[in-house]
C-alpha cells in the first residue's frame, strides 16, 4: 500500500504558521496577504495543505462564489458578468519542488471539486512571472481571458466549452469520441501502490486528497505475450487482479478506477528494443511503481514491453468496485484483459454499475 501520509489534508488557515518561509513569495506578491490570511483564520476557513516533516509543500484554497457571493470580474478586455463560480483563491507550490506531480495533483483536485459542483466556471488569477504554474494551468485547459487591475492574468475553465483536443485539456472529463475502451490488469500489490486511493474505505473527498498527492499522470508498463490494442484517447478501466489464495479470485478481482490513454510507447517488441534504456527510464520518471533497478530488469528481460501514459480521471470508491464475475456475466469480460474491446455504451454501463453519473464524466 502506498504511503497514506502523502496526501493533501483539509486544515484550518490558522494551523500553518504564517511565518513559514513557504508564504514569503505570497507576501511579496500581495501586500495585504497577512490581513487576508488572518481574516480567513477568524472565519475558520479551510485549505488543502500538503506537508511533511520538512514543512509545507503545497497550499490550495477553493472559494465558492455562489448566488449572492457571485461577482462580476473586471478585466482589461471588458467586464465578465457575475455568475456562480469556483475560484482557486490560492494555489502555491514550494519553489524548490522538482517535477509537476504535486502541482498537477493540486489542479486536479480543484477540477474534481468543480466537476462535482453545479457551476460552469472555475477561475484563477496568476501573475505572468509564474511561468511554471501557467504552463500547468494551460495544460489542463485553462484559458486566459485578460488581466485584472493588479496585472494578474485571469484563467478560466468552462464546462460549456471543454477543450477535448487531448486528455489533459479535457480533464476530468472524458471525450466520448473514442475508438474503444479496454481493461488494464494490475496485480493487487502494484495496484495499491499506483492507485492507493481506489481501495480505501474513506470518503470520496479523503480519497481525492490522497489521489492528488500521488499525481494525475500515471505510467503503466505492460508486458503482454504479443501486442496491445490501446490508442491515444481511449478510456481504460483499471482492473485490480487478486493474487492471494483466500476466497475466489473471480469475486476478489475488481475494476476500481478509470483513466484515459495519453501515450503508447512501444519500448520492445519481440525482443527488439525501439528506444534506449536511458530514454525508457526518463519516460517513466517517478510515475510508476518500479525503482530504477527493476526498470533495468524489465527492459532487459521482457520480450514485449509497452509504456502506457494515462490521466487518472476517477475511481469507483469503496463498496462500488465491480468484480470480475459481475462483468463476465454481463458480457463485458469475454477475453484476456489486454484483448477486451468495449464500445462507449458498454463503458458507460460499467460506470453506471459502479454508481457513477456518466453524464458528468463522458462528454462530446
Average pLDDT over residues 9-28: 89
- What Å distances lie between residue 127 and 49, 114, 146, CA to CA? 21, 22, 12
Positive or negative, the CA dihedral 259, 319, 287, 90 is positive
Q: What is the pLDDT of residues 165-205, one digit of tens each?
A: 999 999 999 999 998 999 999 988 888 777 765 554 445 55
Share of the chain above pLDDT 90, in %: 63
Higher pLDDT: 133 or 99? It is 133
> Which pLDDT does position 3 carry in this prediction?
43
**Cα–Cα distance measured from residue 161 to residue 121, given in angstroms and rounded to the nearest whole number:** 10
pLDDT at 126 > cutoff 80: yes
Residues 6+ apart with CB under 8 A from 50: 6, 7, 8, 9, 56, 57, 58, 59, 102, 106, 213
Of 148-157, 177-186, 189-198, 275-284, the poorest mean pLDDT is in 189-198
Positive or negative, the CA dihedral 188, 102, 100, 297 is negative
Domains of the chain, earliest start first: 9-161 (3.40.630.30), 175-363 (no CATH)
Average pLDDT over all residues of the chain: 88
In this prediction, residue 113 has a pLDDT band, given cuts at 50, 70 and 90, of: very high
pLDDT at 1 > cutoff 50: no
- 8-state DSSP, 181: B
Q: What is the pLDDT of residues 313-332, one digit of tens each?
A: 998 887 889 999 999 999 99
Tell me whether residue 275 is exposed, middle or buried, using C-beta atoms within 10 angstroms of its C-beta: 0 to 12, 13 to 18, 19 or more.
middle
- pTM, 2 dp: 0.89
Q: What is the pLDDT of residues 336-364, one digit of tens each?
A: 888 899 999 999 999 999 999 999 999 98
Q: What is the pLDDT of residues 76-103, one digit of tens each?
A: 989 999 999 999 999 998 876 645 678 8
pLDDT at 209 > cutoff 60: no
Average pLDDT over residues 136-144: 96
Average pLDDT over residues 203-220: 64
> Which pLDDT does position 56 carry in this prediction?
87
Average pLDDT over residues 250-271: 92
Amino acid at each position: 500500500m502506498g504511503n497514506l501520509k502523502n496526501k493533501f489534508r483539509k486544515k484550518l488557515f490558522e494551523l500553518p504558521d504564517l511565518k513559514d518561509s513557504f508564504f514569503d513569495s505570497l507576501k511579496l506578491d500581495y501586500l495585504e496577504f497577512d490581513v487576508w490570511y488572518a481574516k480567513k483564520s477568524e472565519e475558520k476557513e479551510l485549505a488543502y495543505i500538503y506537508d511533511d516533516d520538512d514543512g509545507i509543500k503545497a497550499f490550495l484554497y477553493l472559494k465558492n462564489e455562489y448566488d449572492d457571493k457571485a461577482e462580476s470580474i473586471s478585466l482589461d478586455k471588458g467586464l465578465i458578468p457575475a455568475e456562480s463560480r469556483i475560484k482557486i483563491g490560492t494555489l502555491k507550490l514550494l519553489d524548490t519542488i522538482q517535477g509537476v506531480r504535486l502541482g498537477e495533483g493540486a489542479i486536479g483536485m480543484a477540477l474534481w471539486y468543480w466537476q462535482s459542483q453545479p457551476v460552469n466556471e472555475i477561475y484563477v488569477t496568476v501573475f505572468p512571472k509564474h511561468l511554471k504554474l501557467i504552463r500547468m494551468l494551460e495544460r489542463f485547459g485553462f484559458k486566459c481571458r485578460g488581466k485584472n487591475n493588479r496585472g494578474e492574468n485571469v484563467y478560466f475553465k468552462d464546462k460549456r466549452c471543454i477543450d477535448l483536443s487531448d486528455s489533459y485539456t479535457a480533464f476530468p472529463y472524458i471525450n466520448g469520441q473514442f475508438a474503444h475502451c479496454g481493461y488494464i490488469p494490475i496485480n493487487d500489490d502494484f495496484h495499491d501502490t499506483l492507485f492507493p486511493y481506489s481501495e480505501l474505505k474513506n470518503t470520496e473527498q479523503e480519497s481525492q486528497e490522497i489521489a492528488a498527492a500521488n499525481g494525475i499522470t500515471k505510467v503503466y508498463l505492460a508486458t503482454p505475450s504479443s501486442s496491445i490494442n490501446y490508442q491515444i484517447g481511449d478510456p481504460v478501466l483499471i482492473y485490480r487482479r487478486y493474487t492471494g489464495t483466500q476466497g475466489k479470485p473471480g469475486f476478489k478481482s475488481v475494476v476500481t478506477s478509470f483513466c484515459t490513454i495519453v501515450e503508447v510507447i512501444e519500448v520492445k517488441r519481440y525482443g527488439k528494443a525501439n528506444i534506449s534504456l536511458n530514454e525508457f527510464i526518463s519516460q517513466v520518471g517517478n510515475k510508476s511503481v518500479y525503482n530504477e533497478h527493476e526498470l533495468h530488469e524489465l527492459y532487459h528481460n521482457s520480450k514485449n514491453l509497452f509504456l502506457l501514459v494515462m490521466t487518472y480521471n476517477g475511481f469507483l470508491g469503496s463498496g462500488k468496485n465491480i468484480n470480475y464475475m459481475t462483468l463476465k456475466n454481463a458480457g463485458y469480460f469475454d477475453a484476456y484483459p489486454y484483448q477486451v474491446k468495449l464500445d462507449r455504451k458498454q463503458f458507460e454501463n460499467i460506470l453506471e454499475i459502479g454508481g457513477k453519473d456518466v453524464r458528468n464524466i463522458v462528454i462530446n
